[in-house]
Structure 1
Amino acid sequence: MRLIWTFLFALASSTVFAASPEDDYIAARDKAIAAIAAQESANTDIETIDAQNEKALADLQQRLAAILGPLAVKDFPATGAINIESLNASDIGFGMLDGLRYSQSENGPSIVASTRGLTERWLKSKAAEAEADLRLPTGIGEALKLDNFYTQAIGSDAAFLGTLDFALKKPEGADIAVARLGGWTQDIGPIYDQHVVVTVVKGDRVLIAEATASPAVPKIAACDSIWAAADAAAQKAQQADQGSDQDDSSDTDAANAVWEKGDADYRACMGQRLPSDPAFPALLKQAQGLADSMVSK
């Protein structure tokens, strides 16, 4: 009898503590990252490292496909490619959100799908970043309000800067729905190529859709004037610094401060004035349509 109870207890324990598919995925990902880091430290040739990186990404993509299953959103493919672009910490695209990206075309609308569990683990890792600029809150709802979430989760070589948040009607069945208008940039100043980014959390799924704003976000003269004035003032300060014989960075710092304030004031102006523009209802409709499509059956 004691032997039987011991066997049953061992069986129950193995069931309780069995690793989940998400646990297995994280373990495989971290093992691959460590192996590539070791190769870099050993000065392994880049071709070998790249081959190992591609092999590991393919394995992780299969694991994510098994976790997520096929995507069922109208006009999007059922299968996706891994969202992470590299497992090499030296590469652009390292550390992106664990998930799959489903794209209509190379430059068309896309959806990044993850699970609540994977997203929460990813946010926890970002909250522990050594650099303050990279840290994110651990709560999904709070993180979705920040430009830096989208920069790190679905971007690779550019930063996301938000213009405004849409007053979205939460689709039935969704736990969280956030829609933002913004653009990707490597510089400071107006971003005329704006995108609609919509995130829906429903049950265990986190879906982030991105599409070029349609219609295109119009230029607003009053806002452009704010940026033009700031740009002129900053360039004047920068030229004064370059013409000075003194090795003093104070003028350069002043120029950068003017640019940064001008950029912030420009985006604030757009956020205030755009909702009154004739193009805005169509932009809101686009955002709402993306949100609704991600929860429809």
Structure 2
Amino acid sequence: MRLVLTLLLTLSASAAYAASPEDDYIAARDKAMAAIAAQESANTAIETIDAQNEKDLADLQQRLASILGPLQVKDFPATGTINLQSLNASDIGYGMLDGLRYSQSDDGPSIVVSTRGLTERWLKSKAAETDADFKLPTDIGEALKLDGFYTQAIGSDAAFSGTLDFSLKKPEGADAVVARLGGWTQDVGPIYDQHVVVAVVKGDRVLIAEAPASPAVPKIAACDSIWAAADADAQKAQQADQGANQDDSTNTDAGNAAWEKGDADYRACMAQHLPGDPAFAGLLAQAQGLADSMAGK
């Protein structure tokens, strides 16, 4: 009897400590990253590193597909590709959110899907960043409100710059919904090619949709004027710095500050005026439609 009890306790303990599919995925991902980092340190040929990177990404994609299962959102494919673009820290697209991306087309709407557990692990790693520009809160709800989340989670070679937040009706069954209008940029100033980004947290899933704004975000003259004035002031400061022909960077700093302030003022102007534009109703409907679709409404 004692032997049977001992065996039962041993099996119970083994089950309790068995690695989950998410644990297995993280272990495989970290092992692959470490192997590629070692190859980089050993000056391995880039072709060899790239081949290993592609092989490991394919393996991780299969693991994620097993965890997430098929996507069931209208107008989106059931199968996706891994959201991580590289496991090589030297490459653009390294360190993105662990999940799968389901795209209608190369330039069309897409949805990135992850789990709460994977998202929380990813946010924990971002909270530990030593560079303040990359730090994110560990709470999913708080992170979804920040430009930096979308820049690091679903972007690769550009930063997300938010214009305004939509106030949506939370779909039935969803735990949280965040909808934003913004664009991808490598510089400050107006972004005329804007996107609607909608995040839905439902049960164990975190879904992030991105789609080109439809209708297109209109130009607002008053806001363009704000940016034009700031740009002119910044360029004057830059020219003065060049003319001084000295190491003093006071004018350069003033120019950068003028661009930064002009960018913030421009976006604040858009957030103030856009809700009164006829195009806004269509943008709001687009965001609500994405949220409802992802929540399975």
TM-score interval (norm. to shorter): over 0.9
Check if 1:225 corresponds to 2:234: no
* Distance in 2 between residues matched to 1:6 and 1:41, nearest whole Å: 48
* Distance in 2 between residues matched to 1:16 and 1:183, nearest whole Å: 45
* Distance in 2 between residues matched to 1:14 and 1:117, nearest whole Å: 22
Deviation sequence 1:241-294 (CA, Å, 0-9, x none): 001132211100100000000000000000010000010000000000000001
* Distance in 1 between residues matched to 2:79 and 2:217, nearest whole Å: 31
Code of the aligned partner of 1:217:
V
Check if 1:71 corresponds to 2:100: no
Q: What residue in structure 2 maps to residue 20 of structure 1?
A: 20
Q: Name segments (4+ residues, structure 1) moved above 2 Å.
A: none
Q: What residue in structure 1 maps to residue 267 of structure 2?
A: 267
* Distance in 2 between residues matched to 1:226 and 1:247, nearest whole Å: 30
* Distance in 1 between residues matched to 2:4 and 2:144, nearest whole Å: 51
Alignment of structure 1 residues 232-271 onto 2, 5 Å: 232-271=232-271
Secondary structure, counterpart of 2:244 in structure 1: coil
Secondary structure, counterpart of 2:114 in structure 1: strand
Q: What residue in structure 2 maps to residue 167 of structure 1?
A: 167
* Distance in 2 between residues matched to 1:280 and 1:29, nearest whole Å: 42
Code of the aligned partner of 1:212:
P
Secondary structure, counterpart of 1:230 in structure 2: helix
Check if 1:155 corresponds to 2:155: yes
Secondary structure, counterpart of 2:43 in structure 1: coil
Deviation sequence 1:47-89 (CA, Å, 0-9, x none): 1100110000000000000000000000000000000000000
Q: What residue in structure 1 maps to residue 278 of structure 2?
A: 278
Q: What residue in structure 2 maps to residue 177 of structure 1?
A: 177
Code of the aligned partner of 2:134:
L
Code of the aligned partner of 1:21:
P
Shift of 1:296: 1.5
Shift of 1:130: 1.4
Deviation sequence 1:141-165 (CA, Å, 0-9, x none): 0000000000000000000000000
Q: What residue in structure 2 maps to residue 100 of structure 1?
A: 100
- TM value normalised by structure 2: 0.99
Deviation sequence 1:121-157 (CA, Å, 0-9, x none): 0000000011111000000000000000000000000
* Distance in 2 between residues matched to 1:183 and 1:245, nearest whole Å: 37
Q: What residue in structure 2 maps to residue 138 of structure 1?
A: 138
Code of the aligned partner of 1:79:
T
* Distance in 2 between residues matched to 1:152 and 1:283, nearest whole Å: 24
Unaligned runs of 5+ in 1: none
Deviation sequence 1:172-193 (CA, Å, 0-9, x none): 1000000000000011100000
Shift of 1:99: 0.1
* Distance in 1 between residues matched to 2:247 and 2:116, nearest whole Å: 52
* Distance in 1 between residues matched to 2:83 and 2:157, nearest whole Å: 14
Q: What residue in structure 2 maps to residue 188 of structure 1?
A: 188
Deviation sequence 1:94-140 (CA, Å, 0-9, x none): 00000000000011100000001100000000000111110000000
Unaligned runs of 5+ in 2: none
Shift of 1:2: 2.1
* Distance in 2 between residues matched to 1:19 and 1:140, nearest whole Å: 24
Deviation sequence 1:15-70 (CA, Å, 0-9, x none): 11110000000000000000000000111000110011000000000000000000
* Distance in 2 between residues matched to 1:188 and 1:165, nearest whole Å: 19
Secondary structure, counterpart of 1:91 in structure 2: coil
* Distance in 2 between residues matched to 1:280 and 1:8, nearest whole Å: 63
Secondary structure, counterpart of 1:247 in structure 2: coil
* Distance in 1 between residues matched to 2:130 and 2:57, nearest whole Å: 26
* Distance in 1 between residues matched to 2:247 and 2:18, nearest whole Å: 63
Q: What residue in structure 1 maps to residue 4 of structure 2?
A: 4
